[in-house]
Each structure stands twice: as C-alpha cells, then as structure tokens.
A and B are shown apart, each in its own frame.
Chain A
Amino acid sequence: MSEHNGLVCLGVNELYHKRNMQHSHHVLPTLCLFEFTDEMQYLITEKQALLVEHDIAEVVIRTTLAKWYFQLTNRYHYEVLTYLHIQADSISFSGKMKPYKSPHFTTPIILIDSIKKTGSVIKALPLDKLTIPLALGLIKEIQILSTENYDLSDLYWELDDVASNIRKLDEKVVNKLSFECEEALSQISTESNSLNSRQEVLEVQIGNLLIRLVKNIFGITRGDWISYVSPATAEMTQLRFDNCSFYEGVLTIYGLGLTKSGILGKREQSIRIDLVP
C-alpha cells in the first residue's frame, strides 16, 4: 500500500427496510407481481452457474418480468426499471422510478424453493466422481489452504497466550516496562491482527472452493435437495443443501432435513464425507 487514493467513506442506510429517504412513502409500490415461468427459471439457473464459476455472491440483471402495483392509485405503474437479484438459492426484485437515479425500493428475499411449482427433485450424491482428476485437484487445493489455516490458527492462539500474559504483567505491576519490551508487545499485537485477517481471507477462499467442488463434482448448488447413503453405516440422510465446511479431510454438508413424506423439516442435518482417504 504505497500509494494512497484517498479513503472513501459512505453513509449507511438500512437495507430492505424503511430507508431514511425523503418522501419515500409516496413512491413505494405496494406489491411486486411476477410469474415464475419456465423462461424465468431457466434464466435464474443460467445465472446461478455464473455465481459458482466466478465466486460471485449475487448476480443482478435488468428484467421486464415483474410488475409493480400501487395501492394509492390502484394500478400498475409503468416506467419502473426492474432489477432481478439472483443469489445461490434465492431471488429478489428491486426497482427504480423516474426521476430517481438509483433503485429505491426492493422486495424481501425469497427462496426459489418456496415459489417453485413442482417440488424439488432429490439428487443423490455421486461419490465415485470424487476420484476424477478435477476433483482431486480441487481437494488438493482445499487441503493446502486449510493446512495453512490450521497452522495460522495455532500460531494465533499461541501468540495470544504470550501477549495476554505480558498485558497481565503490565497491569499488575506499577513499574514501567522498558521501551523495548513495550515495543515487543505492540509488535505481537500487530502480528496477531494480521494473522487474523489472513485467516479470514483463507476461510472465504476455502468456502468458495468448496462450493465449486460440490457443484462440479456432485452437481449440486445451494438450495438443492440431496440424499446420501453412508457407505459405512448404510444410513440414509436427506437434506436441503444450505452450507458446507471442510475440517481435517472431511467435507460436511449442512442443511434442513427432509422428512419421510418428502417435505422440508425443521431440524438441521448434516452429511459427512471423507475427501482424503
């Protein structure tokens, strides 16, 4: 960071709720209406592929597939620029009307599952695909990053131990510490801060790689319904894929469980798969 471009600071508005904006109540639509057509579903699936491919959290596109109803005038308003926000398992719409220059209203985020006409198809996890070269490559990469992460984590906690002891010492005694000692203390704390931020970067990277792994190898994305039969116990688990993590060679897939009658349950379930033999 040798060159400074000047720090940019932005005000913060509450998102998706009452924004502190002038006369917003006059220009807010009451309802957003859209039809969840096959065309729209295809569009969403297509854009969701981009999410995984480029590690994107949200894709926003302009659309004409939604209409905005205003209760005050009891009609649909035209000339509303509508944006469709596509996330891994959900969508939302936002809109902008003349003379505003940026979107000034949005719908809540809704799960795609909740608007699908037909129930979701339950997909089985093809475990045999874990041995293909692409999978092995990704697993290797994840492993390297996560090893680095563990090492950093260990170092962080060890350092923290030392630093807190020195701090305790500083608080307990009245005598002033020597300058060198004070210096060392502040260096330790800088070091532990940078370790912490490096760890956070690693965690995001690992997360993205994991999403890519399950997408490319198992063909599943967030929100998909999956079933898994454990090779060891032959026990079957069915859940909606919400999140996944990696720890010591084991991939864990979390999500709300599916009940025997094939609907979404309330309890969180998990699937553990050994990636590293």
Chain B
Amino acid sequence: MRKARKRRQVFLFHDHPRSGIDVPEDDWNYVINLVTDLFKFYKAQGCNIEVTWWGEIFIKLPSFETPFEISINHKPAHIKIDQVIKKIKDSGLARIANLDLATSLSLSVRPIRKRTKWHSFAIDTKVAKPVSLTAKVNEHIQPKISSYYKHDDELDKLRKITKEDLIAVIRLGGVLLSRNSMLHYLAAELNRCIYVSKLTISDSTITIGVGRLYEESVHHFGKKELKFFHKYVPEHIFLTEDNEINY
C-alpha cells in the first residue's frame, strides 16, 4: 500500500478515480495501523484480502461470493453536499452550520457489484483502536453482500489496468515532464478525442486507436518517458499486446 500511495497521484487526472486510501501525511500512520488491525480481523476469519497495483483494497468473506472494497479519506460528514453545490451554483456562496472541518476522516465500503453505493463511517481519531468500527462495517456489509445471488464480473473489471488508467497516466506524464515531453502533446490530443477505442503501451511506443473507424496512430517515446511509465504502470503492460490485462 505504501508503494501504491505514490502511484495514486494518477487519479488526479482520472475520469473515474479508483478507491483506496487517500489521507495526508499526518494521518498516514494512524490509518495504516487501523487497516492492519482490520486486515488481522478479516484474516482470522479466513478472508481473502487483495491490495491492487493502485492501492485498492478488496476483501472477500469466505461464505459470500461478492467481495467488497474499502476507501479511507477525508470527506464532509453529516451534510448534504449536493445541496451545498447547488446553492453555490445559484448564489456563489453558502454558509454551512455545524460542519466540523477537523474531524472528517472516514471509512467507506461498497460491495463490488455494478451500481452499488458507497457507505461511509466516521472514524474517531481520538480513540487509538476503534474496535467498534469493524463491527459497524460488518453489520452493514454482511446483509448487503448476502443479498446477491447472481454472478457479477465487476471484480474482474476492477482488477484490470484499463484504457482510462493509461490515459490518466499519460496526462500525469504530460504535466510532470512538461513541454519537453511528447506526452504533453499526446495528452492534449487525447483530450480532444471523444472516444478512444484502443490504447497500448510497449517499451518504446504508444498505439492509439481513435473513433469507430479504428484509425490507429503510433507514437514513439524515449528513455525519459519509459522511466516514468515504469513508475506508474506495472511491468507486464509492456509485454503484452492487449491493453486490458489482469494483475
């Protein structure tokens, strides 16, 4: 998870950022301890825990087919943020009573199925080990995941490195390596595309298929870009032809 943390910078440029842990430096140690405890608890029950390249956490309880994912970050608690956004669009300014900016750390869970919603629990950082949190999560998630009976391929989809991920990596590269890199121009070009049908990266080229007519273009990159890609994209991406690859 520590390694994945650096890669998560990619999600700033992602159209649908992936779940996981996004907390400031100050909270990191606390959160890691919390997650370790959580993992121990689930391991003891014989659960299968998976941490992906991007730092997503998937947990599968032994008796249920549907796994769930976990996110930890700071979010506004106890208020309807949609209403605030709407008000701001109307008047440009909104006052929110009883919103505490200091205590906003929360843990969210979602069953890995299509169109499922996240549910959040506030984390009380004053308590060293919030045991009750695990219980709360369990209480919420068990009935949820036991209600599904049909197979769903959402997990397989999440496990893949997708086109969207790669586009986000290219955008990040465009900003990090700035105007000196071809990624800068490629990112701009990608932003103008309405639909990208194919995107593969080899160790010296990026191939992009655009639109329905499947026009492919090949873009060559140098050592600087390769070094960058090695940081953000798993090794095997370069080896295979297909861009959607399993872990």
Q: Is A67 in contact with chain B by the CB < 8 A criterion?
A: yes
Q: Which stretch from A20-28, A43-51, A230-238, A269-277 is at the chain B interface?
A: A20-28
**Chain B count of residues within 8 A CB distance of the other chain:** 35
* Total of A-B residue pairs, C-beta within 8 Å: 70
Instruction: Decide: B93 and A22 in contact? CB cutoff 8 A.
Output: no
* Contact A74:B92 (CB < 8 A) given known A26-B12, A27-B13: no
Q: Which residues of B contact A (CB under 8 A)?
A: 9, 11-15, 17, 22-25, 73-76, 81, 84-85, 88, 92-93, 96, 99, 101, 104, 118, 171-172, 174-176, 184, 187-188, 191
CA distance A102 to B24 in the complex (A): 21
Interface of A is mostly: loop
* Contact A75:B73 (CB < 8 A) given known A23-B171, A99-B176, A108-B92: yes
Q: Is A5 in contact with chain B by the CB < 8 A criterion?
A: no
Instruction: Decide: B81 and A69 in contact? CB cutoff 8 A.
Output: yes
Instruction: Decide: B81 and A97 in contact? CB cutoff 8 A.
Output: no
Contacting B22 at CB < 8 Å: which of A75, A98, A100, A110?
A75
**Chain A count of residues within 8 A CB distance of the other chain:** 27
Contact pattern, A 209-221, Cβ under 8 Å of B = 1, otherwise 0: 0000000000000
- Chain B, residue nearest A27 (CB): B12
Contacting A22 at CB < 8 Å: which of B11, B92, B191?
B191
CA distance A27 to B172 in the complex (A): 11
Q: Is A128 in contact with chain B by the CB < 8 A criterion?
A: no
Instruction: Decide: B76 and A26 in contact? CB cutoff 8 A.
Output: no
Cβ contacts under 8 Å, A110 to chain B: 92-93
Instruction: Decide: A114 and B93 in contact? CB cutoff 8 A.
Output: yes
CA distance A14 to B104 in the complex (A): 35
Instruction: Decide: B174 and A22 in contact? CB cutoff 8 A.
Output: yes
- Shortest beta-carbon distance, B117 to chain A, in Å? 11
Cβ contacts under 8 Å, A98 to chain B: 9
Interface members, chain A 96-125 (any B CB < 8 Å): 97-100, 108, 110, 114-115
Instruction: Decide: B76 and A23 in contact? CB cutoff 8 A.
Output: no
> 5 shortest A-B CB distances, which residue pairs?
A78-B24, A75-B73, A76-B74, A75-B75, A99-B176
Instruction: Decide: B101 and A67 in contact? CB cutoff 8 A.
Output: yes
* Contact A74:B85 (CB < 8 A) given known A22-B187, A22-B188: no
